[in-house]
Each structure stands twice: as structure tokens, then as C-alpha cells.
Chain A
């Protein structure tokens, strides 16, 4: 049974309508004032000419989009490898049996090193260093090494995220699983990891948003992805509109992803609250 006082409901509907109206009016006034102030200021026309040049935009945008396809490919290849690498490293760090000591140490060392070094430095190191070796069988492709550097760098972050997730599953869950006769591997596979991954979905998505943007770092090695493309277009016309175009492309991709991450975050929080004691 649900009972709601119709009078109160009518009043609250009215109030909601009034609030919406006030908000809208306030927003419109604000925008108008801003536009008037900005467009009337003395530097506006040069500013617009330099950053928001319509002709420049129309001219460069298709080539930017085309170049962005390389960013997308780098991202799509790097992301699954990062997930697998991160998970394996996190798992290696949980192994307690003495035979696994070397594995555990390598995993810890890897995380310590790659979390401490700036991503761009890793990209320089691999992207310029490895081809310079001129070794048989070692690729000299800049895109390959740029992607590899992103994988190594983000693998360390994601490994830490997974490790935190594993730590967030209460030890009593492991105890219950082991009591049923499940092996330590089975306990991880069926009980701990599914809960750990669910718990770290929000930070994991945040790392991916970050990775989407950092694909632009590969530009320093020369491949013509969207940032490099914008840089070339900019320097040939002495106009910065292509940079703004590139920025818009990134935003167009990251905003939906951020909203999705927020939604997952809320859902996870709700589930965790509900599943608390069980």
C-alpha cells in the first residue's frame, strides 16, 4: 500500500516546475552575458581567428578524424593486453607458496618501476631506444613500441587496481570457499576475482579514459595520429584551430565514457551496500 496526499503532490509538482523555470532563466541570462562580454572584448576577433577559424576547421577536421583512427587502434589493441597483464601481475603478487617467490618478486619490481616512471619517458625509452638497437627480429616500428610502452605503463596501474580489488574481498569469502574444498586456484577463479573485478570497475574505467587520452603521447615518436596531424596542420597555416578540433574529438569520446563510469560507480556502490553482510 502506498498513500500519497494529493494536495502535497500537487504542491511539490508546482515547486518542481517553478525550480526548473528559475534554473533555465538563470542559465540563459548567464550565457547571454558571457557571450556579449567575450565577443565585445577587444581581442575577440584575433582570438576567434586563431582558435575557432571556421575555414581552418572544415579543412582540417576530416584529416584529423582520419588520423584519430590510429589512436583508436592503439587503444583497442593496448586495452585488452593491459587488462590481462594487470590481472596476471596482481595475481602473481598474491601467490604465497615458496616456489613462486621469483614470480612474486618480478611482479613487485615491475609495478614499482613502471608506476614510478612517467609514461612519456617509457615511450621515449622504448620508441627511440629499441629501434636503435637494430637487432634481428626486433621490430623498429614506432607505433609498435609506442603501444608497447603504453601497455607496460598502464599494466602497472591496472595491476594495482586489481590488487586493491582482491584486497577488498573479505577474507571470510576465501575461508568459506576453502571450507567447501575448493582449491586456492578455484577460490580465486570463482569466488574472489568475480567480486574483486566488480568492485574495481569504476577505477578501471577511469584508467581507460586516461589511456584514451594518452594514446596522443605516441605522437612524440612520429606516427601521424591525431595530435601529430593537428600539429602539422597548425604549423603549415599558423593557425591553432586544428588543435581545438583534435581536443573536440577526444572530448566527444571521453564524455560518454565518463558518464558510463559514473553510472557503473553508482551501481557498484549500491550493490556493495546491499551485499554487505552476505
Chain B
């Protein structure tokens, strides 16, 4: 196995109520690369991402971060994992009782024990980078979906993660607002962040992905560079799926 890969998923199985969702997933994500997960609804993309940051416990197999941190080991402190792994969800899940700025500084102040001043400065810098600095003092209910999702991205970034997981972050958005959120992801990717992203945006996948993985029935059915997978899919299931989403 390649040791230069940042995230290693090996033979991961996961079932809910006796219904298998992941059936032996293998995945290697090199540092500073973007991996895009595609697949039909229910194929296990969200579940896989949630296993990577320990929100779900696996039934079998292992998830290793940076060749050293075993997410799947019972003795691992999952809070330590989550400090290094950022995740953004389809429903932004901002904290509605906190201003945008406080949403962002909560993690750095309480978890990383930064002082408030420093955390705020850093948050403002991030907000500026994503064109959101004018929203710092607003409550989440004043934001558009696109702005809310970008704040959620900033909130995850404020923890200075080494890898970012995105779970269909544009699916709840008005089509008009998808672009601004994808721009943020593109920006991150260009800055060298390691990214794993589940999405239904095939054009975006083709553009930013280093590797595209097609999940089918809880298995990585086919993977490859985007030109290859989209241009010349080898498996019938992949062709079938692609013909349905296009």
C-alpha cells in the first residue's frame, strides 16, 4: 500500500439494521488531492464520509489518517480525529443561536484553546477570503443558502483541518447559489487542501477531481481520473449511472 496517501480506507463494512450499506470499501486519498465520490442515492457516499471522521463506527475494516491515526481503533480519541478532519454537510447545520463569527470561533476557542481575540482575527481573515466578512455579525437565519453553506465551510476550515470532507454540500441549494459554493471548494482545492467530496455535480467533478470513485451498492465499483471515468467508463453499471445523471 502506498504510504504517501493521506487517507487510507481498507475493507470497510457497515450495515444498518442488518442492511449492508458499505460492503468492503477500499479507498486511498493522496495528500493535496481531490477525490470525488459519485453514485446513486443510497449507494453509501454519506455513510463512507461519516466513517472517516468517526461519526459512524465501522463493522469491519480500517480507516487510517496520515498513516498513523487509526480512526477505527476503539482506543482512538475521536475528538482528536475530528480536529484534523473537517466535514461539511448538505444541511449547513450552523448553530442558529450564535452569530456567524461565534459559529466560526467556537471550535478554535473551546477545542483548540485559542484565545478569543486570535480566533476572531483568524475567523475574519477566513470570512474575507470567502467574501463573507460583511456577514460576521449576522445570525444564520439572515443568510442565503449559499452564504450559509460557505460559512459552514469557513467554520470547518477555522479548525485548520488537514483534510476536508464535503457531503453533497450543494444539494440543498437553489441552482443560482450552487456556483458560489463550488467556487469556494475550487479555491480550497487550488490551495492544496486534501479533499473528499460526495456530489451530484458531474461537471464540477470532472473539472476539479484528481480521482473519481463510482460507488455502487456499497462498493467502489470503478475509479480513475475524471477523463477516463467520464470519457471511457469500463463497467456497465458506471455507464448506466452516468447516462441517467446526464
Q: Which residues of A does B touch, CB under 8 Å?
A: 172-173, 175-183, 186, 190-191, 194-195, 198, 274-278
Query: Which 3 pairs show the lowest CB-CB distances between chains A and B?
Result: A278-B140, A275-B96, A176-B93
Determine which of B91, B106, B140 lies in contact with A180 in the assembled complex, contact meaning CB atoms within 8 Å.
B106
- B93 near A175 with CB under 8 A, answer yes
Number of A-B contacts (CB under 8 A): 73
A180 touches B159 (CB 8 A): yes
**Could you say which residues of chain A place their CB within 8 Å of the CB of B141?**
274-276, 278
Q: Is the interface of A mostly helix, strand, loop or mixed?
A: helix
Q: Do the beta carbons of A172 and B93 come within 8 Å of each other?
A: yes
Name the A residues within 8 Å of B143 (CB-CB). Answer: 278
Q: Is the CB of A181 within 8 A of B96?
A: no
> Is B228 positioned at the interface, with any CB of A under 8 Å from its CB?
no
CA distance in complex: A198, B98 (Å): 13
Contact check, B107 vs A180: say whether CB atoms are below 8 A apart.
Answer: yes
Interface digits, B155-172 against A, CB 8 Å rule (1 contact, 0 not)?
110010000000000001
15 residue pairs of the A-B complex, CB under 8 angstroms, read: A173-B95, A177-B106, A178-B78, A179-B53, A179-B55, A180-B155, A181-B107, A186-B111, A195-B96, A195-B97, A198-B97, A274-B141, A275-B140, A277-B91, A278-B140
Contact indicator A176/B111 (Cβ below 8 Å): no
Q: Which of B75-97 contact A (CB under 8 A)?
A: 78-80, 82-83, 86-87, 89, 91-97
Contact of B148 among A178, A190, A278 (CB under 8 A): A278
Q: Interface size class for chain B? A: 20 to 34
Asked if A182 contacts B107 (CB within 8 A), the reply is: yes
* Given A181-B82, A182-B111: A173 in contact with B93 (beta carbons within 8 A): yes
The interface residues of chain A lying within 8 Å CB-to-CB of B86 are 179
Chain B, range 119-140, C-beta contacts under 8 Å to A: 139-140
Distance (Å) between the CB of A142 and the closest chain B CB?
A: 43
Tell me if A178 and B55 are in contact (CB < 8 A).
yes
**Which residue of A is nearest B108, CB measured?**
A180
Across the interface, name the chain A residue whose C-beta is closest to B152.
A176
CB of B110 closer than 8 Å to a CB of A: yes
Pairwise interchain contact B97-A180, C-beta atoms closer than 8 A: no
Q: Which B residues are CB-close (under 8 A) to A276? A: 141
Q: Which has the most chain B C-beta neighbours within 10 Å: A176, A179, A194, A277? A: A179
The distance from the CB of B67 to the nearest CB of chain A, in whole angstroms, is 21
A183 touches B79 (CB 8 A): yes
| Contact flag A179-B87 (CB < 8 Å), given A190-B110, A274-B141 | yes
Q: A182-B110, A195-B96, A277-B172 are in contact. List 8 more A-B contacts (CB 8 A).
A: A177-B95, A179-B86, A180-B159, A181-B80, A191-B106, A275-B97, A277-B145, A278-B92
